[in-house]
Amino acid sequence: MKNSLLISCFLLLYSCLQAQDADKLLASVKAKLESVKDYTGEATLSVNVSFMNVPDSRVKVYFLQPDQFKILKPDGISILPKGGMSISLNSLISGKEFTAVPAGYTSMNGRKLATIKLLPVNENSDIVLSTLLVDETTALVWKATTTTRENGTYESILEYGRFARWGLPDKILFVFNTNTFKLPKGVTMEYEGSKKAATSKPQGDGKGRVTLVYSNYTINTGLKPALFK
Amino acid sequence: MWQLLRIELFKIFKRPRTYISFAAIGAIVALILLAFYADGTNYMAFGMQSLTQSFDIQGNVLNGYLICFIILQTLLIHVPLLIALVAGDQIAGEANMGTLRLLITKPVSRTNLLLAKFFSSAIYTILLLCWMALLSLVVSILIFGTGDLMILKSEEVVILEKADVLWRYFAAFGFAAIAMTTVAALSFLLSVFAENSIGPIVTTMSVIIVFTILTTMDIPIFNAIKPFLFTTHMIGWKGFFDAPVQWEPVLQSAGILLFHIIAFLVATILIFRKKDILS
Amino acid sequence: MQPLIEVNKLVKQFDSLVAVDNLSFSVYQGDVYGFLGQNGAGKSTTLRMLLSLILPSSGSIRLFGEELTPNHKSILSRVGAVIERPDLYKYLTAIENLRIFARMSGVRPSHRLLMDQLEMVGLAERANSKVATYSQGMKQRLGIAVALVHNPDLVILDEPTNGLDPQGIADMRNLILRLSREFQKTVVVSSHLLTEIEHIATRMIILDRGKKMMEGAVADYFQPASNKVHLGVANPEKAIELLKKEPWGLQVELSREELIVSLASHQVPALNRYLVEQGVEIQSIRSVNSLEAYFLSLTSGNQHVAAFTN
């Protein structure tokens, strides 16, 4: 009895300590991200969705604290899944309140990463749960999985390089579900030749992928909120 | 031959009915442009509803290129009527007017006369398409500018880079010229059998409507005959808006249409050479 | 002399109907050759075969000494024609119509020449009016101008007086006579009216149901001697006696209470006066051409006679 009480106390203390560690880690991730008030990124956007035929394009990516985020193709059309804001960790995490829950460690590409689950404090938040895989030494998030109320689950896989000290990735692979999406049947006549070509394309795994490869960032130049209107 | 062609063109372009088609296309294109200018954003919001529920689309979707595509898509189905109006009149109209017998008593071979008449119909068709291209492409671009072209198909959404669009329109109009010349050739063939132009015009349209219905209906027994209907291939111009263009089916469609043109024309000549002119 | 048109054993069959049946005839240079026959006799079909509008079922057609079928281009460049109604492009002006058909005939006449041509048919003042505004007679004259624009040697006119008013008919006759006499054209003209052919033709052919009934010089059939006068009188014996005596000295036949004598039609009033003066009571008098008489024998009903002779 005495022992079990002792063990319980220990476990409680341990988990509190662990939660404290998770909070600390989240804080350091946030601190790193929040050091970027705004940025303008130049990137190549590739969209790989089974029912979309979009060429790779040069885009500009804009971000402004706390969660203003926009991808623009100058003079052209860009198409991104709804909730694409979570493509940017900055807009996902910056300025938001979360309860962080530790979930142990995992290994990705030979890198030991801490898993933290984030539960939003605000009950009306669209985000239900986010899971971050964080490198404790650099406070860099290598993978984020976000479940939303409206738009399903997203997965971001990030790679860092030249802009790691700002917490900004060189490459993001963004994976989302496309199973539920149905294109409307066209009312106009379709060309049989095109149909044959389209049906011969391999069916996807029900997931869409968007890749952003950044070539450059311009950080904290004082972007105007009007840009995001 | 050149002389005959010039005479036939002179006759076509001296007739008031020739300009009905040009006026009709002008009016339709002007109306579509006006509608898009006034309320294009709402139309686009409605048209892309299903897509914007799940996706964010940034940029100027409603540009001159898209409007030209929409105009082609809506208008090209109706252009055969305007083509038949002139091509179906070529022989039947002359028979009705009573001028056919006068033409045949002139020292020209029936084959040359028919070729001149057919080529003048083809030239009319091409000029009509040029007029359509000028209005729908040039005017749209002047009003709405250029940009990437986004096309919603039933199987995929295609976005074409701005710089990668214009050549596709040239190719599409070229293909449409072949498709519409097929209509002209059919009308021309039917024109041999009639002594007033209503018959061939109505018959041409009936054939196209029936074939188009068969093409559109997704019923297995009809699907089997689809490849043999020329109307299936007439919308091959849309193939140029695939990325990348599937050249094989597009060229095959163009070939099938050319084959139809030649077959219709040869049939017309063979029948007309043996025909007694009783009108 | 080589005939300008030589038709030999020509047959045209439309399904079960034989429209032209084993027809042979010849037209010589300088002839005004009349085709006479009722509607449906095969006149138009024959003329259309001469112009390669209709292909013969069998038989041969030679024009200008050449077979028509392989040489129709060179032959037709020497032929001008108006077939039935002279329909032209209504949305074009007279001069535009004329220019188009001249070019189709392989000539490029100057504006002046085209105007001369219109002048000849009395349409110069309306040269720039749309044909849609023309009367039937004007269209007919323009049709003739179109037929003549390339200066053909042979002119074929199918029922050229159809639908014309009396003045128009007279104008057309004069025009045909001018073509023959002044311009030395060979003219082939068809009509269902005997009087038409009588006034303009030098030689003629009569068709009935596709067959040739007779062919020859018109003068032979319109000789005074060939005119028969039928007299209905109350006292035939006295009349016969008077007619046989001087100054008339006529051969008299008696047929169904009528006396028939051969007499030129212009002498009929004088004969009438003489008999009345001599106390013969005349109940009826009518002059019948032998050709008309021939039609009577050709056709069974009176309706046909009326059609030919009115």
Average pLDDT estimate for C253-257 = 78
User: Considering only CB atoms, which chain C residues are within 8 Å of B15?
Assistant: 91
Q: Which residue has the higher pLDDT, C267 or A89?
A: C267
Nearest to B118 by CA among B278, B252, B1, B257: B1
Which of C53, C69, C108, C154 is best to mutate for the B interface (most B CBs within 10 A)? Answer: C53
Question: For residues C101 and C105, what is the distance between their CA atoms, to the nearest angstrom?
Answer: 6
How confident is the model at residue C99, as a pLDDT? 93
Q: Which residue has the higher pLDDT, B10 or C229?
A: B10
| Closest Cβ–Cβ partner in A53, A72, A184 for B156 | A53
| Closest Cβ–Cβ partner in B11, B97, B277 for C48 | B277
How confident is the model at residue C92, as a pLDDT? 93
Residue of chain B nearest C156, judged by CA positions: B105
Task: Locate C251 and state its tokens.
Answer: 């051969």
User: B198-216 vs B166-191: helix axis angle to the nearest 10?
Assistant: 130
On the question of pLDDT at B23 being above 90, the answer is yes
Question: For residues B66 and B40, what is the distance between their CA atoms, to the nearest angstrom?
Answer: 11
Q: Which residue has the higher pLDDT, B176 or B53?
A: B176
Highest-confidence range of A203-212, B222-231, C87-96, C220-229, by mean pLDDT? C87-96
Q: What is the 8-class DSSP label of residue C33?
A: E
User: Considering only CB atoms, which chain A residues are within 8 Å of B253?
Assistant: 191, 193
- Angle (CA) B164 B170 B174, round 5°: 140
pLDDT in tens, C164-216: 888 888 888 888 888 888 888 999 999 887 778 888 888 888 888 888 888 88
Cα-atom radius of gyration of chain B, to the nearest Å?
Answer: 21
On the question of pLDDT at B64 being above 80, the answer is yes
Alpha carbon of C43: minimum distance to chain B alpha carbons (Å): 13
| Closest Cβ–Cβ partner in B101, B106, B274 for C83 | B101
Whether domain A2-228 has CATH 2.50.20: yes
On the question of pLDDT at C36 being above 80, the answer is yes
Cβ distance B58 to A190 less than 8 Å, yes or no, reads: no
On the question of pLDDT at B279 being above 80, the answer is no
Residues 147-166 of B with CB under 8 A from A: 147-148, 150, 152-162, 164
Give whole-number Cα distances, C301 to A51, C208, C258, C266, C306, in Å. 85, 14, 21, 28, 9
Whose tokens are 């050549």? That residue is B167
The per-residue pLDDT of chain C, averaged, comes to 84
Average pLDDT estimate for C258-284 = 83
pLDDT in tens, B199-224: 899 999 999 888 888 877 777 877 77
Residues 175-234 of C with CB under 8 A from B: none
Please name every residue paired with A131 in a beta bridge, in sequence order, or none if there are none.
Answer: A117, A145
ipTM above 0.90, yes or no: no
Domain ranges of chain A: 2-228
Task: Locate A212 and state its tokens.
Answer: 């952003």
Predicted TM-score of the model (pTM): 0.81
Cβ distance B276 to C75 less than 8 Å, yes or no, reads: no
Q: How many CB atoms lie within 10 A of CB B212?
A: 18
On the question of pLDDT at C97 being above 90, the answer is yes
User: B110-133 vs B166-191: helix axis angle to the nearest 10?
Assistant: 140
Q: How many CB atoms lie within 10 A of CB A162?
A: 12
Whose tokens are 């047929």? That residue is C255
| Closest Cβ–Cβ partner in B10, B14, B107 for C77 | B107
Whose tokens are 């002046």? That residue is C112
pLDDT in tens, B101-157: 888 888 988 999 999 999 999 999 999 999 998 988 999 999 988 888 888 887 778
User: Considering only CB atoms, which chain A residues are within 8 Å of B50?
Assistant: 182-184
CA atoms C277, C283, C285, C290: torsion sign: negative
How confident is the model at residue C106, as a pLDDT? 87
CB of C98 closer than 8 Å to CB of C145: yes
On the question of pLDDT at A98 being above 50, the answer is yes
User: Considering only CB atoms, which chain B residues are within 8 Å of A199?
Assistant: 155
Which of B101, B195, B278 is best to mutate for the C interface (most C CBs within 10 A)? Answer: B101
Interchain contact C90–B (C-beta under 8 A):
yes
On the question of pLDDT at A43 being above 80, the answer is yes
| Closest Cβ–Cβ partner in C54, C74, C92 for B276 | C54
